Amino acid sequence: MTQATQKNNAPILALFTANAISLVGNVLSAIAIPWFVLQTTGSATQTGITGFFTVLPVVLAGFFGGTLVDRLGYKRTSIIADLASGVMTALIPLIYFTIGLEFWQLMVLVFLGALLDSPGSTARNALVPELAEMAHMPIERATTLIHIIERSARLVGAPLAGLLIALVGTENVLWLNAASFFISAGIIAVTIRVHKPVTHEEKESGGKYFDELREGLRFIYNDKLMLAIVIMVMLTNFLDAIFGGVVQSVFVKQVYGQALDLGLLIAANGGGAVLGALIFSAIGPRLPRHAVFVFGFVLTAIKFFIFALYPPLWIAIIFVVISSIGAGPLNPIIGAVEYERVPKNMRGRVGGAVGAGAWSAIPLGMLLGGVLTEQLGVKPMLIGLGIVYFITTLSMAFIPAMKEMNRRKELVVEGIQ
């Protein structure tokens, strides 16, 4: 497909819409299902176990499911993932109200429902380059809009879940949640046309499953820029997990005392990231990626030092918004680099491995964060996190491989899987 092809915005707008609906469905699941467990069992321990079985399949499927995405095709995987999530979610209230739902059965449904979330998201993201090309949209703008949709889905989905639970009850929210996945699958099925010419490269890729998985990992290892990005994202996610998973909550409880204050700070973080993404969407294609990437990461480190000063809440909110603006361009830049460097027939396994690597550091960060915060206290943790985060992110300015992200490559667009 070339730039001379007639412009067609409809497919990518449909993809954005389906992605938004599916992501809101994921947020509804993340809130409604644990709340359902707490309501029906009254057990905080079982609620925590539910959270574990929600996160575990995301890591496993991100790592092992990427090759499946490449084999099944991006459109087909997206549809199957949404249908599976919808069916598993609908089975929770259905079984509960008919034959009764044991806790272990709920965990099976939660695990299976979340198992294809990551491959489904990877598949929808893998469709972006071709659809952006059809819309004559710069790849930076397309990846930024995907990121804005992800952030906005969290901002909208969380309060929407709470409101719906209060208005119609948890069980009915789960029915609505299931419907959202079916709607997303229907949009992709109807609006995304498949025109996939078989290339020589794809003919060569019909090997064994784990051989293809190793091929994806080998690609990341051999591409120094991709490897540097994965390592840095793992490190920063590890630090973010310590802060967001433990330190921030303890800080708010000690300094401000209200759960609402924690919600306001989290909302400020999401709002700042959306604002940063909107700014990048407007001017990003004209800016040097490496400089924006480093500056964005360094800017996010400000919040640690601001919190360490124990400021009034309104000042903390302002600076969280400012520092979170730096997060806006990060995922769009990573996405653009992936689309340009990763061969079309390997987007699933490489994207899945990148995502799994990013997620894998989060549970360890939460675990270690709890131990260190209890031993050291909040203020030393904030100062220590700020210093380590600042040094880690600033070091990206001096890593030669990271500068390769400024070299924009032409996307090879051959069709849609």
Tell me if 154 sits within 8 A of 20, measured CB to CB: no
219 and 177, same structural domain? no
Structural domain harbouring 114: 1-194
300 and 182, same structural domain? no
Task: State the CB neighbour count (10 A cutoff) for residue 18.
Answer: 25
Give me the pLDDT at residue 263, please. Answer: 66
Which residues are registered as beta bridge partners of 195? 416
Q: Is 195 helix (H, G, I), strand (E, B) or coil?
A: strand
**Domain annotation covers residue 200:** no
* Dist CA 344 CA 335 (whole Å): 13
Q: Please compute, for residue 77, the number of CA atoms within 13 A of its CA located in the half-sphere on the CB side.
A: 30
* Dist CA 34 CA 29 (whole Å): 8
Give me the pLDDT at residue 87, please. Answer: 93
Query: Final residue of a domain: which of 194, 218, 240?
Result: 194
DSSP assignment of 203-241: HTT-S-HHHHHHHHHHHHHH-HHHHHHHHHHHHHHHHHH
Task: State the CATH number of the domain containing residue 11.
Answer: 1.20.1250.20
Give me the pLDDT at residue 212, please. Answer: 67
Give me the pLDDT at residue 398, please. Answer: 92
285 and 187, same structural domain? no
pLDDT tens-digit profile of 361-384? 776 776 677 778 878 888 999 999
Question: Distances from the Cα of 28 to the Cαs of 158, 160, 192, 270, in angstroms?
Answer: 7, 8, 26, 17
Task: Retrieve residue 268's tokens.
Answer: 């400020």
Give me the pLDDT at residue 47, please. Answer: 66
159 and 304, same structural domain? no
Proportion of the chain in helix, strand, coil states, percent, rounded to 5: 85, 0, 15
216 and 152, same structural domain? no
276 and 155, same structural domain? no
Between the two ends of the chain, the Cα-to-Cα distance in Å is 14
Phi/psi for 416 (5° steps) reads: -120, 130
- Domain count for the chain: 2
Give me the pLDDT at residue 394, please. Answer: 93
* Dist CA 39 CA 20 (whole Å): 28
301 and 175, same structural domain? no
190 and 144, same structural domain? yes
Residues of the chain with pLDDT under 50: 1-3, 195-205, 412-413, 415-416
* Dist CA 414 CA 195 (whole Å): 9
Alpha-helical (H) ranges within 285-398 are 289-300, 302-308, 313-325, 330-341, 347-376, 378-394
230 and 181, same structural domain? no
44 and 183, same structural domain? yes
**pTM for this entry:** 0.66
